[in-house]
Chains A and B, each alone.
Chain A
Amino acid sequence: MKRIYISEEYCIGCRLCEIHCLVAHTKSKKILKAFKDEIPKDATAAVLVEEEGHLSFALQCRHCSDAPCIEACMTGAMYRDKKTGAVLHDEDKCVGCWMCIMVCPFGVTAADPATHKITSKCDLCAGQDSPACVANCPNEALVYEDRENES
């Protein structure tokens, strides 16, 4: 499947990926409107830049082939899209038990403190040619490729 790959040597820690991820998951998808009206102040993007010293990289759900979050989810809210292979989250089914957060080896799911439900989980910007974080990375530190089917 097509996955997001990270080149940490080119991540410049600008966090444009986080900003555009938040915008891509709003209704308007317009950056000014999104930040002025739609995105709550403490919102977390589905991609997070990890940073220490001059080393940084942007991490989002790895869409693991044996995803522990799917195993751990008792309601089936966390599921695999049969067509694309992506690990997705159905907010209607989510009961906010946070088991997915507990088992995720990468720490890339986050919950809304108010509703307790999982609100931040990379969906590879379903329907887009390229996820927003990849499309807006100014230095190609994120690339969206299918490397598994390479000969």
Chain B
Amino acid sequence: MALKTYESEFKIVRDDSKCIACQVCVRQCANNAHIYDAEDEKVYADDSKCVNCHRCVSMCPTKALHIEHTPLQFMGTANWTSSAIRNVIKQADTGGVVLTAMGCDKKYPNYWDRILLNASQVTNPSIDPLREPMELKTIIGKKPDKLEFENKGGKVSLKTHLTPQLELSTPIMFSAMSYGSISLNAHKSLARAAFEYGIYWNTGEGGLHKDLKKYKDRTIVQVASGRFGVNSEYLNTSAAVEIKIGQGAKPGIGGHLPGEKVPEEISVTRMIPAGTDALSPAPHHDIYSIEDLKQLVYAIKEATRYTKPVFVKIAAVHNVSSIASGVVRAGADAVVIDGLLGGTGAAPAVMRDNVGIPIELAIAVVDARFRDEGIRNQASIIAAGGFRNSADVIKAIALGADAVYLGTAALVALGCHVCQKCYTGKCNWGIATQDPYLTKRLNPNIGSGRLMNLLRGWSIEIKEMLGGMGINAIESLRGNREHLRGIDLHDKERELLGIKAAGETW
């Protein structure tokens, strides 16, 4: 056996004075990092298997466990960090690609943290959302250039034909995460929470499980390059259809669900044989231009009898504003932009950490481009990728987004501890796994309640911040960049974001 020249990343610390050898940790760790020795009546740890997901720490009834980053680190330099050295060794060992999951793990500037919100003082009154009505309702879809009315004997009615719209109780939706990448119980939690809170959830590219059809009025079904589970019934069991061109975590590449993660239920939902790899090609093989995209957009509109808005999701890349403009011209009712920090269930680390641009800049340039071209009303802008709290959401809306998609935040609400090991299929929290022993750990009754709590908490905070700015409807903040100021940003960044520097007056 070749010598292994890198050590475990984490160290499991067990306080023997508190350990009662109940073996809850042994039963809960899908990575087998805890081992019970019946002869010694003691529990031992195998640090090399620990992924730092904290399942054992949370479940330990006596709080005897603690996980830390192992103190033993490579000598390293400022540039040759421990993880850089570790990855080179791993690749020299295996000749493989370094896989990872979740969102970008490289420290790029976070523009949300460099944007400040405004508040009212003296000359304009702030509003108390507990005492006065505050509107978060958001309507997604193509808006007409103008409204025409007709007056028939004193009865006024709308003459303009309105295209289908989605109505959200708060400007937040759950982003696409496929059944396959996450468990059915995770899908159930998302669907139920979206249904009850009056927002929308997204199936991702893995089809819609039959048990979730009852949530159709709050479901966005996705059509991606693999076309898994797509047929006429699927398209029509929805409130909207989303064509996925790209994903923020891995722009330009497709997906690969290994055959081991395609059991019977997933095979039926995805409409592929059980045990076969589910490969999503990098491009849609029938889309090589905006004109091709238009054909698919209209094929879907035809298939759904023009009753559902069609979204097109693209990753935030260098030419995002031109591409988004093309997408609108292809007939999309909403453009979804997934930023650099967008998550994934599995991606090569080099793609996740190095490809794309931050969502903050993408929202700003796309919104500005649409206004310049006079097409802003023709499509909604939905931003995705890395929203951590309600302040990020409200800043995105002030930059010009109509609504945001939550992926990672929703998973964290369900129990995810962002250990970035989704691709192993051994998620101890029952989220990113299909192992029936693990999936039951996520009870959708609890999960949906937690998601609704998150939506409620963020909505209250958004109302508070709006009230502070003296605004009583989210609609009045949309694209209202005067309420934003930049700090620690250079001129070009502020120019792209379209915001003044902190200290500059109106």
B433-461, CB under 8 A of A: which get 1 and which 0? 00111001101011000000000000000
Query: How many of A's residues come within 8 Å of B, CB to CB?
Result: 22
**Which chain A residues border B440 with CB–CB below 8 Å?**
9-12, 54, 139
Chain B nearest CB from A33 CB (Å) reads 10
Q: Hey, which chain B residues are within 8 Å of A141, CB to CB?
A: 443
**Closest approach, in angstroms, between the C-beta of A58 and any C-beta of chain B?**
13
**Is A14 a contact partner of B59 (Cβ separation < 8 A)?**
yes
CB distance from B264 to the nearest CB of A (A): 14
Which one of B62, B436, B441 lies within 8 Å of A31 (CB-CB)? B62
Q: Is A5 an interface residue (CB 8 A)?
A: no
Of A15-23, A60-68, A79-87, the stretch lying at the interface with chain B is A15-23
Write out the residue numbers on chain B whose beta carbons fall within 8 Å of the beta carbon of A16.
24, 59, 61
CB of B445 within 8 A of CB of A35, answer no
What total of A-B pairs shows CB separation below 8 Å? Answer: 52
State the Cβ distance, A19 to closest chain B Cβ, in Å: 5
A107 within 8 A of B: no
A13 to B25, CA, bound (A): 11
A53 proximity list for chain B (CB < 8 A): 437
Contact A32 B62, beta carbon cutoff 8 Å: yes
Check if A15 sits within 8 Å of B24, measured CB to CB. Answer: yes
Min CB distance A81 to B, Å, is: 29
Contact flag A12-B441 (CB < 8 Å), given A20-B61, A32-B62, A54-B436: yes
Chain B interface mostly helix, strand, loop or mixed?
Answer: loop
The answer to whether A138 and B445 touch across the interface, beta carbons within 8 angstroms, is no
Say yes or no for B318: interface residue by CB 8 A criterion.
no
A139 lies within 8 A of B443 (CB):
yes
Asked if B24 and A139 make an inter-chain contact with CB atoms under 8 angstroms apart, the answer reads no
Q: With A32-B18, A54-B436 known to touch, is A15 a contact of B27 (CB < 8 Å)?
A: yes
A121 to B468, CA, bound (A): 59
Answer yes or no: B28 CB below 8 A from chain A CBs: yes
* Pair B24/A19 contact, Cβ less than 8 Å: yes
Check A140 against B28 for contact (C-beta < 8 Å).
no
- Chain B residue nearest to A138 in the complex (CB): B59
A64 shortest CB reach to chain B, Å: 27
CB <8 Å contact, B437 and A54: yes
Say yes or no: is B162 at the interface (Cβ < 8 Å to chain A).
no
Beta-carbon contacts under 8 Å, B422-439 to A: 430, 435-437
Report the Cα distance A13→B430, complex, angstroms: 13
Residues of A within 8 A of B299 (CB): none
Task: Mark interface residues in B47-67 (1 if CB within 8 Å of A CB, else 0).
Answer: 000000000000101100000
Q: How far is the CB of A29 from chain B (nearest CB, A)?
A: 13
Q: How far is the CB of A10 from chain B (nearest CB, A)?
A: 5
With the chains together, A19 CA to B60 CA distance in Å? 11
Is the C-beta of B20 less than 8 angstroms from some C-beta in chain A?
A: yes
A10 contact set on B, CB distance < 8 A: 440, 443
Q: What residues of A have a CB within 8 angstroms of the CB of B445 in the complex?
A: 140
Expressed in whole angstroms, the Cα–Cα distance for A136 and B435 within the complex equals 24
Which residue, B23, B24, B61, B437, has most C-beta atoms of chain A within 10 A? B61
Between A15, A36, A136, the greatest number of chain B beta carbons within 10 A of the residue's beta carbon is seen for A15
Give the distance in Å from the alpha carbon of A138 to the alpha carbon of B59 in the complex. 8
Please measure, in the bound complex, the distance between the C-alpha atom of A10 and the C-alpha atom of B183, giving whole angstroms: 14
Q: Are A19 and B22 in contact (CB under 8 A)?
A: yes
**Contacts of A12 on B, CB cut-off 8 Å?**
28, 430, 440-441
Produce 1/0 per residue, A17-44, CB < 8 A to B. 0011000000000011001100000000
Q: B446 and A139: CB pair below 8 A? A: yes
Closest to B442 in A: A139
In the complex the two chains form, is B20's CB within 8 Å of A140's CB?
Answer: no
- A13, B27: Cβ atoms under 8 Å? yes
A19 near B436 (CB under 8 angstroms)? Answer: no
Q: How far is the CA of A19 from the CA of B59 in the complex (A)?
A: 12
Residues in chain A near residue B23, CB distance under 8 A? 15
What chain A residues lie within 8 Å of B430 (beta carbons)? 12
Complex-state Cα separation, A19 to B21, whole angstroms: 11
Complexed CA–CA distance, A19 and B440 (Å): 20
- Minimal Cβ-Cβ distance residue in A for B24: A14
Q: Apart from A32-B20, A140-B443, what 17 extra A-B contacts exist at CB < 8 Å?
A: A12-B28, A12-B430, A12-B441, A14-B28, A15-B27, A16-B24, A16-B59, A19-B24, A20-B61, A31-B20, A32-B62, A54-B440, A138-B59, A139-B440, A139-B441, A139-B446, A140-B446
Residue contacts A-B, CB under 8 angstroms, 28 given: A7-B443, A9-B440, A10-B443, A11-B440, A12-B440, A12-B441, A13-B27, A14-B24, A15-B23, A15-B24, A16-B24, A16-B61, A19-B20, A19-B24, A20-B61, A31-B61, A32-B18, A35-B20, A35-B22, A36-B20, A53-B437, A54-B435, A54-B436, A136-B61, A139-B440, A139-B441, A139-B443, A141-B443
- 9 smallest beta-carbon distances between A and B, as pairs: A35-B20, A54-B437, A54-B436, A10-B443, A12-B441, A139-B443, A19-B22, A14-B24, A140-B443
